[in-house]
Structure 1
Amino acid sequence: MTTFPGSARVEMVMGIPVSVDIRTALPRRELAPVLDDAFAWLRWVDETFNPAREDSQISRLNRGGTIRQIPELIEVLHRCDELSEATGGWFESRINGVIDTSGYIKGWALERLSRALASAGAVDHRITAGGDIRVRGSAAPGKRWHISVRDPRTGLVRKVVFTHDMGIATSGGANVVDPRTGVKQDKLGSVTVLGPDLGAADAYATAMYAMGPVLARRFAMELAEAEEYQTMIISRDGQEISTPGFAHYGAETQLAG
């Protein structure tokens, strides 16, 4: 099969391996600085928004310290407030007076990076960071990207998504709490959301995982009717429930690794 030349790189950022796979046929002398800039951006996001870093702007804000006037910080906090309202408070970046944008920031960062790569001419790419994936363009000439959606608890493939342009976020492998009580949630196996904006998909997946099975199913259907986001919910016992539009992007697979 004909493939794009491209280039790929994997680095540890935000405590997880992040891969940027560019398939556009650009000269290698152009691809190297593009990848350098990509990971510099991701490190800047971690340095700015990671609440576990004492010197991050979020940590300084939580301590009541002086912060730099960063447009991206205002953008993220504002968007988190919008998503909190959109989910009835089930996605919340402020719990007990502490700001933590973790349920949104990774998806937002990858979405911004995807747009920047496209603007730089690297229109065919896949970015992967944990349960968040952003693809754009083609994996090979005329070929859609094939994305395996895995159960974060077992690693088994539940669906394969075929797409040229999509954000895919899966929640369930990390700690998600009920924003009203602060109690860790584990009533669902996982929630995967497909949509045009990875940051929003990330937040919606986090919110639905926090909701639990009944509310999550209702919210997923309402979301699919109102916006271009489709959802697959895996229950604790392995049963799968998807919004009707999910099948447009995916194909059934065997439960195999």
Structure 2
Amino acid sequence: MTTFPGSARVEWVMGMPVSVDIRTALPERELTPVLDDAFSWLRWVADTFDPDNEDSQIARLNSGRTIRQVPELVEVLHRCDEISRATNGWFEARVDGVTDPSGYIKGWALERLSRGLCNAGAVDHRIVAGGDIRVRGSAMPGKPWRTAVRDPRTGVVRAVVHAHDLGISTSGRRPVVDPHTGKVQEDVGSVTVIGPDLGLTDAYATALFAMGPARARRFAVDLAAEGPYETMIITRNGQEISTPGFARRSGAADRLAV
């Protein structure tokens, strides 16, 4: 068995197991505090943004109580507003007067963590939390990370993405509500979005799922035409439909017409 340099850790945070796998050849005395700081950051995010925690800043905001001047809170709410406009309201962090940035916050937190790891010298890493994955650098010298994209309903591998620097988000593990009707969207199996910013892939995957299959296909085509974000949609009957850039990275068979 080949042993790679680096270190890995899994902790339960943000309501799920989160794994940080560092492959950069750093001494243990440097990696241990890096991993300590990584999970301290994630716990801070959970404490600040969890709407179900009555002492979080989001819960205090929703109940009209005084909140602290937290720059990250302003940043997240501003970005959520931008994404809402970009998706014509299909991603919405404010519904009926209640603020809940859950569709963005996990991806945002992991993206910030990934940048922090790079700044600490741990440039080769993979972070996994539920349907969000952030890879940077190499899994081993000269080799990209190989990441399986699984159907959240069945666990079947639908694609394998090869990348040195990519965010990958899959929506469909939990119910997604149509923000326009308040009803759970049930016509889509899952949506996976890949791109350079995990916060945006997370939010786009949520929005596309909420749209339903027909509208999601059109939006995915436009999204790919405008920039670096590519999509794979799995319909309720199991059909895989991908934008060309996603198919090139993973070998997915069916492509959306452009």
TM-score range (shorter-chain normalised) is over 0.9
Q: Which amino acid aligns with 2:171?
A: S
Partner deviation per Cα, 1:126-165 (whole Å, 9 max, x = no partner)? 0000000000000001110000000001010000000000
Partner of 1:177: 177
Unmatched runs of 5 consecutive residues or more in structure 1: none
Give the drift of 1:2.
5.9
Unmatched runs of 5 consecutive residues or more in structure 2: 254-258
Partner of 2:256: none
Bigger relative contact order, structure 1 or 2 (CA pairs below 8 A, ≥6 apart): 1
Kindly indicate whether the alpha-carbon contact (under 8 Å) linking 2:242 and 2:252 is maintained by their aligned counterparts in 1.
no
Give the drift of 1:181.
1.7
Give the drift of 1:169.
0.2
Partner of 2:227: 227
Q: Which amino acid aligns with 2:210?
A: A
Give the drift of 1:213.
0.5
Give the drift of 1:3.
5.1
Partner of 1:214: 214
Partner of 2:237: 237
TM-score by length of 1: 0.97
Task: Tell me how far apart the structure 2 counterparts of residues 45 and 36 of structure 1 sit (CA, whole Å).
Answer: 15
Quick check: 1:141 aligned with 2:180?
Answer: no
Q: Which amino acid aligns with 1:139?
A: A
Within a 5 Å distance, the mapping from 1:1-257 to structure 2 comes to 4-252=4-252
TM-score by length of 2: 0.96
Kindly indicate whether the alpha-carbon contact (under 8 Å) linking 1:2 and 1:141 is maintained by their aligned counterparts in 2.
no
| C-alpha RMSD of matched pairs (Å) | 1.1
Task: Tell me how far apart the structure 2 counterparts of residues 180 and 252 of structure 1 sit (CA, whole Å).
Answer: 31
Q: Which runs of 4 or more aligned residues in structure 1 lie more than 2 Å from their structure 2 counterparts after TM superposition?
A: 1-4
Partner deviation per Cα, 1:50-71 (whole Å, 9 max, x = no partner)? 0011110000000000000000
Partner deviation per Cα, 1:77-98 (whole Å, 9 max, x = no partner)? 0000000000000000000000
Give the drift of 1:186.
1.3
Task: Tell me how far apart the structure 2 counterparts of residues 246 and 105 of structure 1 sit (CA, whole Å).
Answer: 24
Q: Percent identity?
A: 73
SS in 2 for 1:245: helix
Task: Tell me how far apart the structure 1 counterparts of residues 201 and 168 of structure 2 sit (CA, whole Å).
Answer: 7
Task: Tell me how far apart the structure 1 counterparts of residues 30 and 17 of structure 2 sit (CA, whole Å).
Answer: 23
